[in-house]
Structure 1
Amino acid sequence: MSHFRNPSRKALFTVRRFRNLVAACAASVILSGCGVVNHMIYKTTGDVMQGFSRDHTVPFLMASDDLAMGCAMSEATAPLLMSFGRVTSEPDQLAVMLYLSAGGCADEQAREHELAALAAMHAMNGNAAQDAMIRQKRANTLAAERYFKGWQHFKAHYGDPAAGECPEFDDDMDEFIYMAGLLSGLQALNSQIQSTSSIGVPANIGSIVARATSCLENDKWWGAPMALRATVWAMIPGAEPQGEDAFERLEQADAQGTAAGVRLAHVFHAIAALNKGDEAMVREVIRDHAKSLETTPPNEDWRFVDAMATDMILAVSDRLWVENTGHRTPLGQLGTFWDDPREDIETMDLDALL
């Protein structure tokens, strides 16, 4: 009887080992179960966030005209939203918009540095001009990297447009994001050229984008697809089809954009004119854009795109003004130039400020 009342140390050790093993197994099951549950929660959250952002956040932003807010949102939320690709499907479609917008943020910085360089050159300050140009190239490199990421996600979602096949669009937003992806590809190439470095953007991306714009309804999208295509024709030697005139097409697109209240075509027209070196045409595009703002209100659903177009036209105007005067376009004077008749320019009395 004493043998059963006082078990040996070996027996006690065996019992304890068994209990520990059971506890360890139980803990493993519980923890692995928590991991599965967490993964399911993360996946569901990711799917919800992707769907909500596409169906509500993007349309809400497009109806706003606060460009700075949109820029801040894309830079701040891109890492969060893209990280859901670790637990659910990659948010390729949403990434197109995020990286296009974030690339625009870096592009805006590059333009600011360019203006600083031009102002420094006008003031004969070589060191300041060189420093600003270095900062401009750095910002252009960042812009190119972001735009190119948007282009890669665009291809992952819609397929490679170089294959020549058009995707089947689910709705208007799907079609708009397709156009945004094409713009991202073109901007990636432009920013890479401006940066004077290479991040791997294909040199033929312009011709690919031009062909892919045929997948979009030109009338539906404010003449922008035709304007984008015509801009590529104007910039790439030999790209213009026989019987076409790139600048006539751009004028037609300008009229469509103005009538729709989404003046994106003006931006493409200005870019093509700058590439041609035709300053008179650049000025005319800027004047037309400024006049249209007075006569045609922006489209309520696409106020962001229209505001973006005006911001880019203002940037072109600022560049001309700084090159020739050392300062930007005077406030409220978009569409006027330093050498216009004096009565057309509102001057500032500097003595009154002293």
Structure 2
Amino acid sequence: MSHSFSSYLTTSPVRWSRLKGAVVALAAASVLSGCGAVNNMIYKTTGDVMQGFSRDHTVPYLMASNDLAMGCSMSEATAPLLMSFGRVTTEPDQLAVMLYLSAGGCAEEQAREFELDALAAMNAMNANAAEDAMIRQKRAYVLASERYFKGWQHHEAHYGEAGTGECPDFSNDLDEFMYLAGLLSGLQALNAQIQSTSSIGVPANIGSVVARASGCLENDKWWGAPMALRATVWAMIPGAEPEGEDAFERLNMADEQGEAAGVRLPHVFHAIAASNKGDQALLKDVIREHAESLEQTPANPDWRFVDAMATNMIVALSDRLWVEHTGHRTPLGQLGTFWDDPREEVETMNLDDLL
């Protein structure tokens, strides 16, 4: 027996209740799906704005600062937030280069502190404390290498495969600096992996790739750092130095450019090459040169952060030498001096003649 739709509803209150529930559910689903689309649009817009603001304003502001600890805290705290916007908009690959380079530096700073603890413990003949500190040092280097390598991977994702002979079309100076930062991140990833005595998958040829890719940057414009980077790779990798080139001669030239520009990053490369060579006398000379330059030339106001970073690493190398030989770090205000420097004779007056 057939019934009309209205009579069906009238004669079946239970069915009417169920139908109302279905209508409400459909309406709610429609509203919620609309809210989801609106939310996604808001998230995408927010992500785009945050990426653009961080790239155009936060990074330049940070580069003009010399507070390394603040920069370290910022990168570790904000990296998860800023990188999460890659879930709703384009992946922030370029910004990630700076975030992971800085965060890797935080972990490497911890590793250097643990190394000093180990050296001090060995100086005090405390074998257990020394071994424990060395274990912590290697763990910190693993973390540093992982972070640096993430920065390198994002660099490759944004700029394309490095070292292929094709250079990216840079849009402005900040774009070029980000490219340089990515090269530093790649080289540091390999160095930290070696220091950790572990393997996290950083390619062994990354140094050569970085050296080739550095040719995409103007040496004069970037404080001699691109040439210093190449020369360091030449000095560290057997057979990498081109015929007719002298890595340490190039490093000397880069030092002068960095000093004149007030961005002494080449000193770091020179010191690393000297340390890797086992030439302590040369390492001391580079540290002395850096200390003298700090007194003579102020930091470039646009790149104070990079110059401060270079000084921080030079101080770390100086501290290592001091702790190895004396058990304590470089005395405050005495960067560029060493425990075995000849003592200046102080002229004294014989007070007996005045009595």
After TM superposition, the score normalised by the length of structure 1 is 0.94
The C-alpha deviation readout for 1:207-261, integer Å capped at 9, x for no partner, is 0000000000000000000000000000000100011000000000000000000
CA distance, structure 1, for counterparts of residue 163 and residue 285 of structure 2? 35
**Percent identity (aligned):** 78
1:330 to 2:331 alignment: yes
> 2:100–2:148: 8 Å Cα contact kept in structure 1?
yes
Q: CA RMSD in A?
A: 1.6
For the structure 1 residues 8 and 165, does the alpha-carbon distance in structure 2 shift closer, same or farther, using more than 3 Å as the test?
Answer: closer
Q: Which one-letter code corresponds to 2:112 in the other structure?
A: R
In structure 1, the partner of 2:291 is 290
Q: Which one-letter code corresponds to 1:239 in the other structure?
A: A
CA distance, structure 1, for counterparts of residue 295 and residue 121 of structure 2? 34
Q: Which one-letter code corresponds to 2:166 in the other structure?
A: E
Tell me by how many angstroms 1:7 deviates.
Answer: 8.6
In structure 2, the partner of 1:14 is 15
CA distance, structure 2, for counterparts of residue 119 and residue 239 of structure 1? 36
Alignment of 1:57-136 (within 5 A): 57-136=58-137
In structure 1, the partner of 2:40 is 39
CA distance, structure 2, for counterparts of residue 43 and residue 120 of structure 1? 52
SS at 1:267 equivalent: helix
> 2:190–2:206: 8 Å Cα contact kept in structure 1?
yes
Alignment of 1:163-178 (within 5 A): 163-178=164-179
In structure 2, the partner of 1:348 is none
Tell me by how many angstroms 1:25 deviates.
Answer: 1.1
Tell me by how many angstroms 1:22 deviates.
Answer: 1.6
CA distance, structure 2, for counterparts of residue 294 and residue 320 of structure 1? 22
The C-alpha deviation readout for 1:142-170, integer Å capped at 9, x for no partner, is 00000000000000000011433110001
In structure 1, the partner of 2:206 is 205
In structure 1, the partner of 2:156 is 155
After TM superposition, the score normalised by the length of structure 2 is 0.94
CA distance, structure 1, for counterparts of residue 9 and residue 221 of structure 2? 88
For the structure 1 residues 15 and 137, does the alpha-carbon distance in structure 2 shift closer, same or farther, using more than 3 Å as the test?
Answer: same
Tell me by how many angstroms 1:302 deviates.
Answer: 0.1
The C-alpha deviation readout for 1:301-340, integer Å capped at 9, x for no partner, is 0000000000000000000000000000000000000011
For the structure 1 residues 29 and 341, does the alpha-carbon distance in structure 2 shift closer, same or farther, using more than 3 Å as the test?
Answer: same
For the structure 1 residues 7 and 133, does the alpha-carbon distance in structure 2 shift closer, same or farther, using more than 3 Å as the test?
Answer: closer
For the structure 1 residues 285 and 21, does the alpha-carbon distance in structure 2 shift closer, same or farther, using more than 3 Å as the test?
Answer: same
Q: Which one-letter code corresponds to 1:191 in the other structure?
A: A
Q: Which one-letter code corresponds to 2:127 in the other structure?
A: G
1:236 to 2:219 alignment: no
The C-alpha deviation readout for 1:44-63, integer Å capped at 9, x for no partner, is 00000000000000000000
> 1:50–1:81: 8 Å Cα contact kept in structure 2?
yes
In structure 1, the partner of 2:272 is 271
> 1:336–1:344: 8 Å Cα contact kept in structure 2?
no
SS at 1:165 equivalent: coil
Structure 1 runs (4+) deviating above 6 angstroms are 6-9
> 2:72–2:105: 8 Å Cα contact kept in structure 1?
yes
Tell me by how many angstroms 1:341 deviates.
Answer: 1.8
Tell me by how many angstroms 1:201 deviates.
Answer: 0.2
Q: Which one-letter code corresponds to 1:258 in the other structure?
A: E
CA distance, structure 1, for counterparts of residue 78 and residue 213 of structure 2? 29
The C-alpha deviation readout for 1:121-179, integer Å capped at 9, x for no partner, is 11111011000000000000000000000000000000011433110001000000000
The C-alpha deviation readout for 1:68-114, integer Å capped at 9, x for no partner, is 00000000000000011111110000000000000000000000000
Aligned length: 341
Q: Which one-letter code corresponds to 1:35 in the other structure?
A: G
SS at 2:12 equivalent: helix
> 1:74–1:99: 8 Å Cα contact kept in structure 2?
yes
> 2:261–2:300: 8 Å Cα contact kept in structure 1?
yes
For the structure 1 residues 240 and 13, does the alpha-carbon distance in structure 2 shift closer, same or farther, using more than 3 Å as the test?
Answer: same
Q: Which one-letter code corresponds to 2:300 in the other structure?
A: N
Tell me by how many angstroms 1:344 deviates.
Answer: 9.0
1:192 to 2:193 alignment: yes
